Structure 1
Amino acid sequence: MSQSSLTFSIVIPTYNRPERLKTCLDSLRDLNYPQDRFEVIIVDDGSKNPLDTIVNSYSDRLNLTLIRQANAGPAAARNRGAEAAKAEYLAFTDDDCTLAPNWLSALENGFSEAPNALVGGKTINSLLDNPYSTASQLLIDYIYDYYNNDSHQATFFASNNFALSRDLFQKVGQFDVTFPLAAGEDREFCDRWLFSGYSLHYVPNAIIYHSHHLSLAKFWRQHFNYGCGAYYFHQLRSQRNQTSLKVEPINFYWKLLTYPLTTKHQASSKIFLCTLLFLSQVANAYGFFASKVN
């Protein structure tokens, strides 16, 4: 297959989740998009067991490349996949995501409107019976509603569902692998992208379904890590922009904590989800200030 015929290189970091990866690959196989116009690059970030058998079982339907590296985190894995990519655009997702059949077509339509933009899609929680996964996705939904209200002037996309020019990705500088935890590097990349003079374009019909299994302990750890990442992000941002720390108004946090009340969940579930969002902010603040004093 010639390099010029490829529109998308889909980059997927994976680590010790072979069953999730298989589900993700099933959805890639079912995309409503010409199979000779995209490639899939899987970066095994040091999984315990080799993934060759799983990946090879899809080689008759997908143009697949499997890269194995020592464990270095998802940011490094995404960068490694991008370096091996051949297509015009990079599309990033994760191994615990399944893609709607029109995912690539929707991203392509986004680029037809804004060729040099960072194009991001919508993520939907597929674990409806898991309140911790639901609350975590509600937080992202709220942030998207708040920061991406104007689809042509968005400011943040999560790295499990965005795409951009391969050349511009290298020009802006890839994901920052110096973050102490796997949290916040996508936020930093979006900010650096904007600082470099490019735009973010929100395409809500580019849908993925996220299956991130969380318990109470994992939920706390996730948002503690987000707080640690937020501290490091603000350190980098202040150096780049020479600006002081920006704190959102109280109204932002009030609307965040009451955001579940605007959803279609049952009344008892809404109260519990509000409580979890409050807990997420406590964990986030704890992680932020723990990083600050270290």
Structure 2
Amino acid sequence: MKNHFVSIIIPTYKDWPRLELCLNALKKQSYPQDHFEILVINNAPIEDPLPKKIQLAKNCRLLIEKLPGSYAARNKGLNECKGEIIGFTDSDCIPDLLWIENAVNFFNKFPKYQRMGGGIRIFSKNKLPSFVEWYDYIFAFPQEAYVRSGNAVTANMFAYKEVFRNVGFFNDKLMSGGDYQWGKLANKNGYKIGYAPESFVNHPARSTVSELVKKAKRVGEGQAMFNTTNRGSKYNRSLAYLKLVKPRFWEIKKIFAYYSDGINFLDKFFVVLLRHYITATGDYAKLKYENKK
């Protein structure tokens, strides 16, 4: 089984405590340490430098990117990396100890794929999640569905470097959705993607409504930025928004069909309300941005 040299790219923005947990997990990887490198890209280098208490491993390099945005930071890593295979995760993720090994095994076992989306497992701060955290358990990172549509989120994505050479890098003007846009281009160029749930990272559930709102706004604006379809007048776009905010019964069914120890009827009821609020917030952010055009 071939041991490819792998580059792991991790953008970070004022998130050193969680990044330290991520790096500690990478120090314990089953994959040989001399067969992979870690590139951490600080996206707030002036106001938030690396704390002295964080000791980087020998195979880890710290880069800086002043241009705002995680995709600009990832592009910095792509310019500097040496790996044949490129892996992406986020500073708040904790990779499984077999994460890299299982990703490389996937490519060795299935040579028809040039890209891979790995599993993303949600965990909560407390033993019993709040209804806000349950929201992320149910709706955050449906990676398998993303892969079926030809994409993968960069919380856990691998690809051969040659794909980036031929397709290009991420759109650094986007604050959200750059992985989706890049995935569409990769599909268009014939690069296939597969799903590898055994190559997983652990991602913390968002614990406050404000965190969910912030993400929804960022995603909505990101969708508006790369959506080049003519959607008609502001009036027609507003009518379309009103249609979107009506109850989505399939999502309600999904919430009440969700089973896990600890989630009760009241939690599910609050998740239903939260889902509609978050969805409406994201769609409204998209509408506002489109109306500025």
Check conservation: 2:163, 2:186, Cα contact below 8 A: no
Match of 1:75 among 71, 76, 92: 71
What is the percent sequence identity of the aligned residues? 22
- In the other structure, the counterpart of 1:165 is 160
Offset, 1:212: 5.4
Offset, 1:233: 2.8
- In the other structure, the counterpart of 1:18 is 16
Pairs within 5 Å for 1:82-161: 82-112=78-108, 113-114=110-111, 116-127=113-124, 129-141=129-141, 143-144=142-143, 146-148=145-147, 153-161=148-156
Runs (5+) with no aligned partner, structure 2: 232-243
Q: 2:157 is aligned with what amino acid?
A: F
Offset, 1:154: 4.4
- In the other structure, the counterpart of 2:250 is 255
Q: 2:158 is aligned with what amino acid?
A: A
After superposition, the Cα gap between the structure-2 partners of 1:190 and 1:131, relative to the gap in structure 1 and judged at 3 Å, is farther
Is 1:42 matched with 2:40?
A: yes
* Cα distance in 1 for residues equivalent to 2:28 and 2:210: 35
* Cα distance in 1 for residues equivalent to 2:205 and 2:35: 29
Pairs within 5 Å for 1:189-204: 189-204=182-197
Query: Which consecutive segments of 4 or more residues in structure 1 shift more than 4 A?
Result: 145-148
1:213-254 per-residue CA deviation (whole Å, 9 max, x = no partner) reads 44212211211221111222322799xxxxxxxxxx99x953
Q: Report the TM-score when normalising by structure 1.
A: 0.83
Q: Which moved more, 1:131-140 or 1:24-33?
A: 131-140
- In the other structure, the counterpart of 1:227 is 220
Offset, 1:31: 1.1
- Residues matched between the structures, number: 271
* Cα distance in 2 for residues equivalent to 1:111 and 1:159: 17
Match of 1:273 among 271, 274, 278: 271
State the SS of the aligned residue for 1:273: helix
1:247-275 per-residue CA deviation (whole Å, 9 max, x = no partner) reads xx99x953334322232122222222222
- In the other structure, the counterpart of 1:51 is 50
Offset, 1:105: 1.5
Offset, 1:45: 0.8
Q: Report the TM-score when normalising by structure 2.
A: 0.83
State the SS of the aligned residue for 1:186: helix
